[in-house]
Amino acid sequence: MRDGQPTVLPGFGLTLGFTTFFLSAVVLLPLAALMLLAGSTPLQQLLAAIASPRALASYELSFGGALIAACINLVFGFIIAWTIARYEFPGRRLMDAAIDMPFALPTAVSGIALTAVFSTNGWLGHYLDLAGIHVAYTRLGVILAMTLIGMPFAVRTVQPALLEVQRDLEDAAETLGAGRWYVFRTVIVPSVLPALLTGFTLAFARALGEYGSVIFISGNLPLRTEITPLLIVMHLEEFDYRGAAALGFVMLAASFVILLAINLLQTWGHARMARGEQ
Amino acid sequence: MTAAGAAPGSLQELAGRPGRATVLSALGRRCLIGLSVAFLAALLLAPLAVVFASAFHSGVQKYLQTFADPDTQAAIRLTLLTALVVVPVNTVFGLAAAWAIAKFEFRGKTLLVTLIDLPVAISPVISGMLFVLLFGMRGWFGAWLAANGVSIIFATPGIMIATLFVTSPYVARELIPLMQQLGDDEEEAAITLGAGAWMTFFRVTLPKIRWGLLYGVILCNARAMGEFGAVSVVSGHIRGLTNTMPLAIEALYNDYDFTGAFAVASLLTLLALATLALKALVERTGDRQP
Amino acid sequence: MSITLDQLTKRYQGVPVVNDVSLEIGDGEFFVLLGPSGSGKSTLLRAIAGLSGLDHGRIALHGRDVTHVSARRRGVGLVFQNYALFRHMTVGENIEFALRVRRVRAAQRRRRRQELLRLVALEGMDERLPAQLSGGQQQRVAVARALAHEPQVLLLDEPFGALDAKIREGLRRTIREVQRELGITTILVTHDQEEAFAMGDRIGVMNCGRLLESGTPQDLYTRPTTRFVATFLGAANLILARQGSDGPRWGARPAVHGPGACGAREREVVAVVRPEEIEIARSSETLACSNFLGRGVVEEVLFTGALERARIRLDEQPDAPILAHANGDGAVLIETTRPQFEQRAFAISRGQSVTIGVRRAHVLPTPLSSFTICAPNSSAAERLAGNSLLLDLSSRMKTRIRKHLEPMLGASTPSRDSTAALPGTAVIGARAGVASDAKWLLEHGVEEILILPEHAPAPQRVLIHWTDESARSATLAASASVLRHLAAEAIYIDVLPEQTSTAERSFGIRALLDARSEARAAHGLEIRTELRFGVAAQALEQRLSESPGHMLIVGVASTSQLTSELAALLAMARWPVLLVHRERGAPAHSRSAA
């Protein structure tokens, strides 16, 4: 597009028509079904499903666990992105490629693999067990799985932002007499802050909805290690569509809020960049 | 430098040396690399290794036996069939969506992009549930489907539709930024040289974006074959009939057949590794550079 | 004619980016469209290629109307700034693309490919991929590709923009040679005036979507008609001067003669003096040319190789010449360049006091030389000085704004006794009694008055009207001067009485056509025309109220018209109004042959 003027390129009607049709049929229609079902459920029943003790416990684990996992990813995501962006060492390219592993690996596979590694007789679980730390079938295990699944999002959003921080800028700050830590705090962190927060939010969103990799390591003990998606599955297995839809509605609402947050963060980031370029 | 008079080799002097290769920064560098490697090793490498270690734990014989099982074979067939149907449909969708969004300005574009991204943002379990609510026994179309003898939920079509939903964004998300970045100049040049719409698309646009498209398709394929949550909800877990490979892993795992579970998992892990390798290749071949 | 553009207009979000452009380009001509970025030149080129639609106007190529022909069937060759080569095809495939589209046989394609590669001096490069070529070579391939299907016209969109200077030079020569050899009509778009001079048979200068002037490089350089062209093509000193019968005179304000003696009045004009037309001498006795400009001090001397560039600060004296574009009380700096032999004859250094003369000056035909704010008190003057339209116009016209306090304005009974001499266009604030202010100013020798309301949006349409045919030429000249600096459309409105007979109506239509052709011929201004019926002031008011963003330019022949017919319209104070006054029977300044 140049200057936003209409182009002579063909295919606008065809492609937009097909896209709109596809999205309506595959995305909008099912969403409408959920909304209508949740909306048509009597309020009493809806509240009962949303606020049952099991549901409340599952929110605590899903939201709390996702939050902790996102925090871990915020820190480690930055460290890993920094390491890959700034340091040259053997295996750097491999590390870079491996970041996407949780993204490409089927969640069921990472679920059973994590369980195998961290169970009491697993490779790492064995040592942790000696230290009195139990990972598999505890809330810690849930957080671990959530961390794994959100990690690529945290790293991949921060990485380009870090690459964009010009070394010149740091050099300039240093020649002006600023110390390294001061440069880090005043030059680097502010310029990657939007990306950091976006990565945090993306990791949180991903962890919140995660199912496959969590259910194996969680052990699914009622009120202890049940995540909300699992509760939805259980409702569905009992053909309690309304109960499932009610919980689904809560999760969807959370997703929408997160999407909104991400959009706002990105607008903020772009605005900062645009200002920076002037 | 003021350090000229200081005792040679003192830490103060070393830390104050000009340039980036100071002792402190070298120390920090080692710490950070070590931390990253440890974190990734525990979270990525160990699980990866454990998959293959467990799969071959009881020998190659036992490993191969898993694939002789008719149920496992059926799961592999179903997974391949699903990918075969879903990936082409989503490729066409991705191309159409990317063309419309990258080449034209229209109202509601932001909304359209959000809608395309939506399946990534919502939990796979909810994605599956959406279709249960539509096509399940007590769903919108449930009664009508039952009356006409069509089964979608707990059958192959349901698995395909749920997979279609979950994997729909991948090709489009890969292509939209790529096409926006590459611009319209080549297409416009083709048109002024007399090329028609299809010729412009097939001879100019498609070759231009082929690597990005390939990666999008491969990624879409990896997600389609590996989808667990959404498929789990709509499949009904009928062995030999509606179990895909990830569901077969779960079934074997729950039966304490760990060798079998990890054997199937090893196949999917190889697929993931191949996907990553291809991604690295595409990024290096890079049709992103002009 | 090979390319005929007729009143092309392209708006983007209501603002014209290409504004009423008409142009004829002859067979085999190399035409350069020159303008700053955002002037609409690329949009115009894309419209000719069919890549961007039009809101108004027609395009004909070799006599065939192609306005509604799609880009793929127009048969033009377009070369893009960023080459736009098909990166996955070899050089040969790129060049053959247009032939392949037309299903030309392989043997013939190959022949044509060899021919074109020879033409752009890239023989033997057939099998390379674009990425393996340098920028200059890629652009050569792009030129060859655009020529493969033997297009009727070749369009080049800033083709050298991405290349460095040395390569640019060579490629320019190649393109010029190819163009001559094929005799193909060519349009080149560029923002580089050096390139325009080097390549164009004719140059068209664009600004704010308008084609301001077109002509040979020599004509445009030595006899520009607009300040924009004067300053955009090469360096220029714009100096306010008095136009006497014997040419421009510097310094002092124009003398005011009593009302009624308009013809004898020396008008303030804008003179263009090129830096190389300035002579520097020790004293006025040693000045070789007769036209003494003033004395000054050398502020800066720069050695640039062939030429020496100097800036000279003119001494401050009451009747020293004034630069048109040095706003406020800043120093008057004259730019000069001198060749080596003059430097040897008289060496200058910083701080030296010298005399300067003008060998040759060119007077711009624009009637709007400068602005003089007239207000009853200083706070009102300040308010006017901050008016966005005035600031916009003065910065685009590169002219100055003076302030003049006139207590007689706004008084209930304006008296006639004042000796104030007001140079240039008077600027006054709109108010209820503005008509009598305007009348008073006109009676004191002012010929153009800009009436500004407090808040008015930037004009998108300028309505032009005159109450008397004798004011026509002057009004058109002033309109052209304003419109060159505004991204607005021009519409001439003629108003006939309600009971006009059919026979008389044809006179009205002829008047419209006359106005249009005079605007085009004498000022290069494209205007559209509308015919209305009723009372002039009411019809104008109705048209102005149709949508926001209007400006009105109205020509009058007698001051009495202001307080009678136009008083109510002027008092509304919702639009900027430019009043142009020429006494009936007075000799017109620029009555043209049209």
**Phi, psi at residue C22, to the nearest 5°?**
-120, 140
Indicate if B267 and B149 belong to the same structural domain.
yes
Indicate if B156 and B126 belong to the same structural domain.
yes
| Strands of the C210-215 sheet, one edge to the other | C76-79, C153-157, C185-190, C30-34, C202-207, C210-215
The minimum CA-CA distance between B285 and chain C, rounded to whole Å, is 13
What the block records as the tokens of C451 is 């009436």
Is the per-residue pLDDT at B14 higher than 70?
Answer: no
Any domain includes C51: yes
Q: What would you measure as the largest C-alpha separation in chain C, in angstroms? A: 90
- CA B53, CA C384: separation in Å to the nearest integer? 85
Tell me the per-residue pLDDT of C566-590, one tens digit each, with 9 for 90 and over: 888 888 878 899 999 887 765 444 3
Which has the minimum average pLDDT: B72-86, B204-218, C214-228, C387-401? C387-401
Indicate if B68 and B195 belong to the same structural domain.
yes
Cα–chain center distance at B212: 14
- CA C223, CA C229: separation in Å to the nearest integer? 10
Indicate the pTM of the whole model: 0.81
- CA C568, CA C281: separation in Å to the nearest integer? 57
H/E segment holding residue B262: helix B258-285
CATH of the domain at B76: 1.10.3720.10
When scoring C48, C69, C87 by the number of chain B Cβ atoms within 10 A, the one with the most, hence best to mutate, is C87
Q: What is the mean pLDDT of residues C97-105?
A: 93
Which chains have 3+ CB pairs within 8 A of B?
A, C
Q: How many CB atoms lie within 10 A of CB B140?
A: 17
Any domain includes C204: yes
> Would you call C205 an interface residue with chain A, using a CB distance cutoff of 8 Å?
no
Q: Are strands C550-556 and C322-323 parallel, antiparallel or unpaired?
A: unpaired
The torsion angle over the Cα atoms of residues A85, A88, A94 and A99, rounded to 10 degrees, is: -20
In the prediction, which pLDDT does B288 show?
Answer: 46
- CA C314, CA C413: separation in Å to the nearest integer? 42
Is the per-residue pLDDT at C154 higher than 50?
Answer: yes
Any domain includes C588: no
Indicate if B141 and B283 belong to the same structural domain.
yes
In the prediction, which pLDDT does C256 show?
Answer: 37
Indicate if C406 and C546 belong to the same structural domain.
yes
> Would you call C146 an interface residue with chain B, using a CB distance cutoff of 8 Å?
yes
Question: In one letter, which amino acid is A106?
Answer: P
Picking from C267, B21, B194, C179, the residue whose alpha carbon sits closest to that of residue A87 is B21
Is the per-residue pLDDT at C531 higher than 90?
Answer: no
Q: How confident is the model at residue B125 (pLDDT cuts 50, 70, 90)?
A: very high
Indicate if B10 and B133 belong to the same structural domain.
no
Q: Are strands C333-339 and C56-61 parallel, antiparallel or unpaired?
A: unpaired
Picking from C110, C170, C99, the residue whose alpha carbon sits closest to that of residue C136 is C170
Tell me the per-residue pLDDT of C252-304, one tens digit each, with 9 for 90 and over: 443 333 333 334 456 788 889 999 999 999 888 888 876 788 888 999 999 88
Give the pLDDT means over successive 10-residue stretches in chain A (278 positions): 57 92 92 87 88 93 95 94 89 89 92 93 89 90 94 92 78 74 81 89 93 92 91 91 90 88 82 60
In the prediction, which pLDDT does C183 show?
Answer: 93
Three-state secondary-structure class, residue C130: helix
- CA A185, CA C170: separation in Å to the nearest integer? 51
Indicate if C130 and C62 belong to the same structural domain.
yes
In the prediction, which pLDDT does A150 show?
Answer: 93
In the prediction, which pLDDT does A70 show?
Answer: 96
C102 touches B194 (CB < 8 A):
yes
**Which letter does DSSP use for residue C112 in this model?**
H
Indicate if C307 and C172 belong to the same structural domain.
no
Q: Which residue of chain A is at minimal alpha-carbon distance from B277?
A: A97
Picking from B52, B38, B66, the residue whose alpha carbon sits closest to that of residue A116 is B52
Indicate if C388 and C498 belong to the same structural domain.
yes
Chain A residues in contact with C50 by the CB 8 A cut-off are 8
- Cα distances (angstroms) measured from residue B150 to each of A202, B137, B231: 39, 11, 18
Q: Looking at the 3D structure of chain C, how many domains does it have?
A: 3
Q: Which residue of chain A is at minimal alpha-carbon distance from B89?
A: A22
Q: How many CB atoms lie within 10 A of CB C360?
A: 13
CB-closest option in C12, C43, C51 to A8: C51
Is the per-residue pLDDT at C100 higher than 50?
Answer: yes
**DSSP assignment of C302-315, as one string?**
EE-SSEEEEEEEEP
Any domain includes C591: no
- Cα distances (angstroms) measured from residue C253 to each of C266, C420, C503, C548: 9, 11, 50, 38
Is the per-residue pLDDT at B56 higher than 80?
Answer: yes
Is the per-residue pLDDT at B20 higher than 60?
Answer: no
Is the per-residue pLDDT at C591 higher than 70?
Answer: no
Indicate if C454 and C497 belong to the same structural domain.
yes
Q: Which residue of chain C is at minimal alpha-carbon distance from A6?
A: C52
Q: Which B residues 147-186 touch C at CB under 8 Å?
A: 183, 185-186
In the prediction, which pLDDT does C571 show?
Answer: 81
Domain that holds residue C450: 371-581
> HSE on the CB side for C132, CA within 13 Å?
9
Q: Which of B28-32, C114-118, C472-476 has the highest mean pLDDT?
A: C114-118
Tokens 């001079």, residue located = C197
Indicate if B84 and B158 belong to the same structural domain.
yes
**DSSP assignment of C333-349, as one string?**
EEEEEEEHHHHHHS---
C543 touches C462 (CB < 8 A):
no
- CA C563, CA C440: separation in Å to the nearest integer? 11
Is the per-residue pLDDT at B159 higher than 90?
Answer: yes
Task: Quote the mean pLDDT of chain C.
Answer: 85
In the prediction, which pLDDT does C263 show?
Answer: 41
In the prediction, which pLDDT does A274 show?
Answer: 64
When scoring B36, B103, B202, B276 by the number of chain A Cβ atoms within 10 A, the one with the most, hence best to mutate, is B36
The torsion angle over the Cα atoms of residues C341, C343, C346 and C350, rounded to 10 degrees, is: 180
What the block records as the tokens of B243 is 């179990």
**Which letter does DSSP use for residue C263 in this model?**
G
> Would you call C455 an interface residue with chain B, using a CB distance cutoff of 8 Å?
no
In the prediction, which pLDDT does A5 show?
Answer: 45
> Would you call A182 an interface residue with chain B, using a CB distance cutoff of 8 Å?
no
Q: How confident is the model at residue B158 (pLDDT cuts 50, 70, 90)?
A: very high
CATH of the domain at C509: 3.40.50.12370
Indicate if B171 and B38 belong to the same structural domain.
no
Q: Which A residues 254-273 touch B at CB under 8 Å?
A: 255, 258-259, 263
**DSSP assignment of A150-204, as one string?**
HHHHHHHHHHHHHHHS-HHHHHHHHHTT--HHHHIIIIIHHHHHHHHHHHHHHHH
CA torsion through residues C581, C584, C589, C594, sign: positive
Indicate if C314 and C212 belong to the same structural domain.
no
In the prediction, which pLDDT does C411 show?
Answer: 56
Indicate if B36 and B155 belong to the same structural domain.
no
The minimum CA-CA distance between B172 and chain A, rounded to whole Å, is 10
In the prediction, which pLDDT does C262 show?
Answer: 39
The minimum CA-CA distance between A26 and chain B, rounded to whole Å, is 6
Indicate if B135 and B263 belong to the same structural domain.
yes
CATH superfamily of A46-277: MetI-like (1.10.3720.10)
Which has the minimum average pLDDT: A180-189, A243-252, C335-344, C353-362? A180-189
> Would you call B207 an interface residue with chain C, using a CB distance cutoff of 8 Å?
yes
Indicate if C238 and C217 belong to the same structural domain.
no
The residues with which C530 forms a beta bridge, in sequence order, are C493
Q: How confident is the model at residue C400 (pLDDT cuts 50, 70, 90)?
A: confident
C146 touches C182 (CB < 8 A):
no
Of C190, C212, C230, the residue at which a domain comes to its end is: C230
The torsion angle over the Cα atoms of residues C351, C355, C358 and C359, rounded to 10 degrees, is: -110
Q: What is the mean pLDDT of residues B2-26?
A: 54
In the prediction, which pLDDT does C36 show?
Answer: 93
> Would you call A4 an interface residue with chain C, using a CB distance cutoff of 8 Å?
yes
Which has the minimum average pLDDT: A9-23, B20-34, B218-232, C435-449? B20-34
Q: Are strands C550-556 and C461-466 parallel, antiparallel or unpaired?
A: parallel
In the prediction, which pLDDT does C214 show?
Answer: 92
Tokens 């109450």, residue located = C467
Q: How confident is the model at residue B287 (pLDDT cuts 50, 70, 90)?
A: very low
Picking from C475, C464, C2, C18, the residue whose alpha carbon sits closest to that of residue C211 is C18
C84, B290: Cβ pair inside 8 Å? Answer: no
C451 touches C434 (CB < 8 A):
yes
Looking at chain A, list the stretches that DSSP marks H as alpha helix, in order from N- to C-terminal side: 12-23, 29-40, 43-50, 53-86, 92-98, 101-104, 107-118, 125-130, 139-164, 167-175, 180-183, 189-209, 212-218, 228-237, 241-277
CATH of the domain at C353: 2.40.50.100
Predicted ipTM > 0.85 = yes
C72, B195: Cβ pair inside 8 Å? Answer: yes
Q: Are strands C448-452 and C425-429 parallel, antiparallel or unpaired?
A: parallel
Q: What is the mean pLDDT of residues C384-413?
A: 78
What the block records as the tokens of C553 is 């330019």
Which chains have 3+ CB pairs within 8 A of C?
A, B
Q: Looking at the 3D structure of chain B, how many domains does it have?
A: 2
The residues with which C533 forms a beta bridge, in sequence order, are C496
Any domain includes C388: yes
Q: Which C residues 21-60 touch A at CB under 8 Å?
A: 43, 46, 50-53
> Would you call A40 an interface residue with chain B, using a CB distance cutoff of 8 Å?
no
What the block records as the tokens of A14 is 């065809």
What the block records as the tokens of A202 is 């993306």
Q: How many CB atoms lie within 10 A of CB C218?
A: 9
In the prediction, which pLDDT does C226 show?
Answer: 87
Which is more confidently placed, C76 or C314? C76
The residues with which C401 forms a beta bridge, in sequence order, are C371
Q: Where do the domains of chain A lie?
A: 1-40, 46-277
- CA B63, CA B60: separation in Å to the nearest integer? 5
H/E segment holding residue B250: helix B245-254
Domain that holds residue B10: 3-51
In the prediction, which pLDDT does B12 show?
Answer: 56
Indicate if B131 and B256 belong to the same structural domain.
yes
Any domain includes C593: no
In the prediction, which pLDDT does C326 show?
Answer: 54
Indicate if C320 and C391 belong to the same structural domain.
no
Is the per-residue pLDDT at C245 higher than 80?
Answer: no
Of C347, C364, C381, the residue at which a domain comes to its end is: C364
